[in-house]
């Protein structure tokens, strides 16, 4: 039997003991009768209510889940931190997953793209990507089905990183903590 403890912990980045995250997590489950519906509510909130920093040209970078919620913006990585916090606050095991994508859709240079993996009975682990919809990009929550915002192009050596991490990738955290403006981040996206 798998030990889910690391996928349910509150950490500095996944700071779901924050009072605002607690309030939101409770409101997203208040009328829900199943873990599946709670997970869908959390996913839809982060996808639709938290702006993607790059899409909306926000001037700053967030990292911790509470900062993402407070500022209502985050890169894909930071949005995954908030979604993880909301799911864990509702006792749903959640971790981090990544894709390695071509930045300009032509091959090198590459960047990691952050998303989540969660565990629900009877499905097991599956991937969800709350990056945010825009023209030509749409994701939705379907329990048990991996949902990616980006389709891989094998000609450019793009790939999914299958491992589910209990904590965000170290290079992702370093980038979010080092590069505070949108311009800096765009020039220094983390790679595997």
Query: How many Å apart are CA 63 and CA 82, to the nearest integer?
Result: 9
pLDDT of residue 33: 85
Number of domains present in the structure of the chain? 1
Phi-psi region of 187 (alpha: psi -120 to 50; beta: other; left: phi over 0): alpha
Q: Which of 67, 117, 64 is nearest to 87 (CA)?
A: 117
Can you give the CATH number for the domain in which 145 is found?
3.10.620
The boundaries of the domain holding residue 55 are 5-187
- Supply the pLDDT for residue 90: 97
Residue 46 included in any domain: yes
In the numeric block, which tokens belong to residue 158?
A: 């793009």
- Select from 116, 53, 61, 56 the least CA-distant residue to 86: 116
Q: DSSP class of residue 154? A: G
**Residue 192, domain member (yes or no):** no
Q: Does residue 153 sit in helix, strand or coil?
A: coil
Please tell me the distance from the alpha carbon of residue 146 to that of residue 42, in angstroms, as a whole number: 16
Q: How many CB atoms lie within 10 A of CB 32?
A: 15
- Averages of pLDDT over runs of 10 residues in the chain (192 residues) are 93 98 95 91 98 94 98 98 98 98 92 98 97 91 96 92 97 97 94 89
Q: Per the domain annotation, does 42 fall within a domain?
A: yes
pLDDT (tens digit, 9 = 90+) per residue, 44-97? 999 999 999 999 999 999 999 999 999 999 999 999 999 999 999 999 999 999
CA distance 133 to 43: 12
Listed residue (59, 91, 95) closest to 182, CA to CA: 59
Cα separation, 72 vs 91, whole angstroms? 23
- Non-local CB neighbours of 19 within 8 Å, separated by 6+ positions: none
Judge residue 147's burial from the number of C-beta atoms within 10 Å of its C-beta, 0-12 exposed, 13-18 middle, 19 or more buried.
middle
Residue 20, domain member (yes or no): yes
Which pTM was predicted? 0.97
């Amino acid at each position: 039997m798998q030990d889910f403890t690391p996928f349910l912990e509150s950490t500095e980045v996944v700071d779901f003991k924050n009072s605002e995250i607690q309030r939101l997590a409770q409101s997203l489950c208040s009328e829900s009768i199943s873990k599946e519906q709670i997970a869908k509510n959390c996913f839809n909130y982060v996808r639709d209510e938290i702006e993607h920093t790059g899409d909306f040209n926000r001037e700053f970078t967030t990292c911790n889940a509470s900062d993402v919620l407070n500022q209502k913006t985050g890169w894909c990585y930071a949005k995954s931190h908030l979604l993880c916090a909301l799911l864990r606050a509702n006792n749903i095991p959640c971790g981090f997953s990544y894709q390695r994508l071509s930045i300009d859709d032509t091959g090198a240079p590459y960047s990691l793209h952050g998303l989540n993996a969660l565990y629900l009975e009877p499905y097991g682990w599956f991937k969800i990507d709350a990056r945010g919809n825009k023209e030509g990009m749409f994701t939705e929550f379907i329990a048990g089905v991996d949902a990616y915002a980006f389709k891989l192009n094998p000609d450019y050596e793009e790939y999914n990183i299958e491992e589910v991490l209990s904590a965000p990738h170290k290079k992702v955290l370093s980038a979010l903590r080092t590069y505070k403006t949108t311009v800096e981040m765009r020039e220094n996206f983390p790679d595997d």
